[in-house]
Amino acid sequence: MNPLIRLAVAAAFVLSAQPIAAQSFDDVAESAKEAGFNGVALVGHGRTIDNVMAIGVADAARGVPLTIRSRFEIGSVSKWIASVVVLKLVDQRKLDLDAPIGTYLPDYRADTGRQLTLRRLLSHSSGLPNQVLKARQADPSIRAVELNQAEAVRRYASGDLAFVPGTQWDYSHSNWILTKAIVERVSGKRYDALVDQLIVRPLRLKDSGIYSGDSGGTPGIALGYAALLPAPQPKPNPMPGFMAMAGGFYTSAPDLLAIMDAVLDGRLLSPRSRKELMTVHMPDQHYALGGRVRTAMVGGQMRELAWEDGRNGGFRMVARRVLADGHTVITLNNASYDYQKLGDLAGALLETSYSPEAK
């Protein structure tokens, strides 16, 4: 067996959800290594990387190991990135979170266009049914079918509202198909170009951007797997371009740290937009705009955190950032790692950043 694969897969492990006193980063990393974590994990504060590890394989068939700059799909955390792009356009006074979306898409169905706002779309409180998910479940062959944005809106984001906007919460990918149409109409640019202009270039990111279709063609990206034993089982899940806001962003752990720092310390967004991004609209879901904000026991205190989780195909990721002091953990996995174990790993690693004995 390829030694890289042997390193990447072993017996499952569970880390306690409670803080583990005086456990060092190296201790946690060794436990993860022995137990089969295949991915990259980073701990930092502010813009500074304190510790980072890369364990396992990026491409099992070719024996390519992961590195700390390996690129990963980040699944639904793409929605948080999309919300940042929307708020950048709000800062430029090109968009208003509370304007009826018919203002921006006059050809959209008038009844729904009068009721919906970007705030409702970005917080999953719009009532717009998840037509795209239903269609993909009914016919998996359409997962890789590309459509122009207008046609995608017509097919998958024009259904009758399931509830009055703002009264309930429903996780609907169709929200992001409609939001992408609005952003591209107002800016006059493709979404991938906007991400590059508003996020990638200003932050001088090296490993981030938008992909469409199968991400495997992206240079430097890890491949997604359902499992690595007894033989590698690839698990791609193509992301058509019209769904780029819902799940089409890729990045590395160092780049994601840079993004979270720039957004959450206020350098990338205005103070008002940063506040909008982190204001919870659906308390029972802890959901703000494109992501969650939660309070948890970290380092012996209750702390407020940006709470990001994403998945697509074989990719899983967890990112947490303490809002008050910038302590951050990022875990990226490309072999369908159990979410509970990934969250436990992230929690244990974040604890190390508060333990003087664990430095």
Is residue 242 a contact partner of residue 149, using CB atoms and an 8 Å limit?
Answer: yes
Angstrom distance (rounded) from CA 211 to CA 300: 40
Same domain, 107 and 174: yes
Same domain, 60 and 83: no
Same domain, 84 and 70: no
Same domain, 83 and 58: no
**Domain boundary at 156, 187, 218, which?**
187
3 state DSSP class of 56: coil
Would you say how long the chain is, in residues? 359
**Domain boundary at 154, 187, 220, which?**
187
Helix (H) or strand (E) holding 4, with range, is helix 3-8
Same domain, 219 and 70: yes
CATH code of residue 240: 3.40.710.10
Q: Which residues pair with 316 in a beta bridge?
A: 311, 333
Q: How many CB atoms lie within 10 A of CB 204?
A: 8
Angstrom distance (rounded) from CA 213 to CA 191: 15
Asked if residue 152 belongs to a domain, the reply is: yes
Same domain, 43 and 104: no
Same domain, 272 and 155: no
Q: Which of 199, 223, 204, 200 is nearest to 70 (CA)?
A: 223
Phi-psi category of residue 164: left, alpha or beta, with phi > 0 → left and psi -120 to 50 → alpha: beta
Predicted pLDDT at 356: 72
Same domain, 86 and 16: no
Asked if residue 197 belongs to a domain, the reply is: no
Predicted pLDDT at 5: 34
Asked if residue 195 belongs to a domain, the reply is: no
Asked if residue 351 belongs to a domain, the reply is: yes
Asked if residue 92 belongs to a domain, the reply is: yes
Res. 158: pLDDT tops 80: yes
Same domain, 352 and 269: yes
Angstrom distance (rounded) from CA 147 to CA 151: 6
How does DSSP classify residue 126?
S
Asked if residue 283 belongs to a domain, the reply is: yes
Res. 33: pLDDT tops 50: yes
Is residue 181 a contact partner of residue 194, using CB atoms and an 8 Å limit?
Answer: no
Angstrom distance (rounded) from CA 159 to CA 165: 14
How does DSSP classify residue 197?
I
Q: How many CB atoms lie within 10 A of CB 235?
A: 17
Angstrom distance (rounded) from CA 319 to CA 41: 10
What distances in angstroms separate CA 280 from CA 217, 287, 290, one per listed residue?
A: 37, 5, 10
Helix (H) or strand (E) holding 57, with range, is strand 57-59
If pLDDT is split at 50, 70 and 90, which confidence band does 357 have? low
Is residue 231 a contact partner of residue 66, using CB atoms and an 8 Å limit?
Answer: no
Asked if residue 56 belongs to a domain, the reply is: yes
The range of the structural domain enclosing residue 183 comes to 78-187
Same domain, 18 and 7: yes
Q: DSSP secondary structure string, 217-282?
A: GSTTBPPPEEE-SSS-EE----B-GGGHHHH-EEE-HHHHHHHHHHHHTTSSS-HHHHHHHH--SB
Angstrom distance (rounded) from CA 222 to CA 56: 10
Cα dihedral 82, 87, 90, 92 sign: negative
| pTM for this entry | 0.93
Angstrom distance (rounded) from CA 217 to CA 287: 33
pLDDT in tens, 249-275: 999 999 999 999 999 998 999 999 999
* For residues 179-191, average pLDDT: 98
If pLDDT is split at 50, 70 and 90, which confidence band does 296 have? very high
Split into its structural domains, the chain has a count of 2
Q: Which of 290, 289, 286 is nearest to 305 (CA)?
A: 286
Average pLDDT over all residues of the chain: 92
Res. 192: pLDDT tops 80: yes
What residue type is assigned to position 122 of the chain?
Answer: L
Res. 348: pLDDT tops 50: yes
For tokens 């809106």, name the residue. 153
Is residue 123 a contact partner of residue 287, using CB atoms and an 8 Å limit?
Answer: yes
Same domain, 170 and 96: yes
Res. 234: pLDDT tops 90: yes
Asked if residue 200 belongs to a domain, the reply is: no
Give the distance from CA 282 to its chain's centroid: 19
Same domain, 36 and 118: no
Q: Which of 245, 294, 330 is nearest to 72 (CA)?
A: 330
